[in-house]
Amino acid sequence: MQVTAMDIYRLLPQTNCEDCEEAACGEASCMAFATKLSEKEAQLELCTELSPEGLNKLESLLAPAVREITIGTGDKTITIGGDEVLYRYELTYYNPTSLVIDIADNLDDDEFTERVKTIEETEFERIGEMLTLDAVALRNASGNSDKFAEAASKLKKAKLPLVLCSFDPEAMKAALEKVGDERPLIYGVTEGNLEEMSALALEYSCPVTIFSPNDLEKMKQISRTLRERGIEDIVLDPGTYVEDGIGDSLDNFVMIRRLAVEEQDEDFRFPILGIPALTWLYEKDEIQGGIREATIAATLMNKYADMLIFHGTNIWELIPVLTLRQGIYTDPRKPQAVDAGLYEFGEVDKDSPVLMTTNFALTFYTVEGDIKGKTNAYLLVLDTEGRAVDVSLAGGQLNAEAVADLIKETGIEEKVDTRKLIIPGLAAPVSGEIEDESGWEVLVGPRDSSAVPGFIDELKEKA
């Protein structure tokens, strides 16, 4: 159940800090602060007027339905979990799904180094954001404790946090002796190794994963036991079934998240982990395996996976997953916008053409991708509160007066001799009004920005 601003307000002092010169929380009223807290845009500690009892009550009220777990230390840290709702439109999702790439401890030195380098260097830019991988999962493929520990030592130099994967407590202990101070995620605890693994988690203060394939009753028992022993940082793996479709996995993921959010079941209020990498147990063909692994990852990410362990590192396999993650974890309450103003592309001069678009991030970066390196031009970016051309036209943010103001405010008239403005094809209905308001001649450009360089070439030929 989502906590409302009113639920929070009832526990705040409700004085609005009327006797203070300035409210410590920085808000005009307790209600305004409550609203910010409900949207996770403020820290509870900012209110200095709370009694210890009030603070305790609010801390427990504000604890997310899914516990936030931190893996790693310092610069090598990721946080997973923290979600409050089942459906993103109810609020937003927090902490994007961590994409973790596996590495076997029995690779030779060169292969090992090369794979770590690939994991660290994989990146892909989209809508102005650099999309990267998040962690390395070391598998005890050798079955040998010493090899596992040796490989863990090598990963000390890696730039990403670690997941240590072994069901053998002896191997886990050997690896933790090398990298336990880096707070790796221990994978995994089962009914069979519960005693030893929970002791290691406590000794090294590391988060642990419960592996309980297709058995949520057993998962609940293990979770309860771990919590009773004082282990609170838990990740849940109900099994990733890849051989005959992933229906069972999906059912378990959804059940766990419903238990956490709707029932507030303390044993299930933890992040969920899936392992699309298991695809490769059944699929040997690189193309088919890559497609299948990416599809499974996308399916599980859509249904609450907070961490996914991957094997494939082909960029064509990772791009759809990284892109999907970016979409799912974009805050639906905030339009994605770039700064309005004047942008320059290539070597511009007094004769360069002047284009216009809106500050919706997807529009801006699409236009940027279509003109950068292909033509020299100025680009005026209008503040439409992050709305696309057709939407802002309908909503009134894209209007003649705003465009005329933009021309004046950016000083473009001092930079060019031309008085011709190329507007997006979709903005054609206001072309005449922009001309009247700005005094510039308006040319209606293409509806699709990929045609802009060709459009500019044609203008030059005609000139």
Measured between alpha carbons, how far is 92 from 84 in angstroms, rounded to an integer?
8
Query: Among candidates 240, 231, 230, which has minimal Cα distance to 272?
Result: 240
Q: 10 Å Cβ neighbour count for 185?
A: 30
Measured between alpha carbons, how far is 306 from 197 in angstroms, rounded to an integer?
22
Measured between alpha carbons, how far is 309 from 298 in angstroms, rounded to an integer?
12
Q: Could you say whether residue 27 binds ligand SF4 (CB under 6 A)?
A: yes
Measured between alpha carbons, how far is 244 from 351 in angstroms, rounded to an integer?
63
CB of 35 or CB of 358, closer to ligand SF4: 35
Phi-psi region of 434 (alpha: psi -120 to 50; beta: other; left: phi over 0): alpha
CB of 62 or CB of 324, closer to ligand SF4: 62
Q: Could you say whether residue 163 binds ligand SF4 (CB under 6 A)?
A: no
Q: Scan for tokens 């961590």, then name that residue.
A: 98
Strands 208-211 and 441-444: unpaired
Q: Which stretch binds ligand SF4 (CB under 6 A): 27-35, 260-268, 311-319, 398-406?
A: 27-35
> Residues 6 or more apart from 47 whose CB is under 8 A from it?
12, 13, 24, 25, 30, 33
Establish whether 17 is an annotated binding residue.
yes
Q: Name beta bridge partners: 272.
A: 236, 305
Strands 420-423 and 354-358: parallel
Site for ligand SF4 in 40-69 (CB under 6 A): 47, 49
Q: How far is the CB of 34 from ligand SF4 (least distance, A)?
A: 7
Q: Could you say whether residue 13 binds ligand SF4 (CB under 6 A)?
A: yes
With CB under 6 A as the contact rule, the residue among 3, 8, 11, 25 that binds ligand SF4 is: 25
Q: How far is the CB of 305 from ligand SF4 (least distance, A)?
A: 36
Q: Could you say whether residue 11 binds ligand SF4 (CB under 6 A)?
A: no
Q: How far is the CB of 18 from ligand SF4 (least distance, A)?
A: 8
Q: Which stretch binds ligand SF4 (CB under 6 A): 7-15, 223-231, 243-251, 370-378?
A: 7-15
Q: Could you say whether residue 24 binds ligand SF4 (CB under 6 A)?
A: yes
The H-assigned helical ranges of 229-377 are 247-261, 286-302, 315-328, 361-371
Q: How far is the CB of 441 from ligand SF4 (least distance, A)?
A: 54
Tell me how many residues contact ligand SF4 (CB under 6 A): 13
Quick one: DSSP state of residue 289? H
Q: How far is the CB of 333 from ligand SF4 (least distance, A)?
A: 22
Q: Could you say whether residue 17 binds ligand SF4 (CB under 6 A)?
A: yes
CB of 17 or CB of 301, closer to ligand SF4: 17
Residues that bind ligand SF4 (CB under 6 A): 12-13, 15-17, 23-25, 27, 30, 33, 47, 49
Binding residues for 5-methoxybenzimidazolylcob(I)amide: 357, 363, 386-389, 449
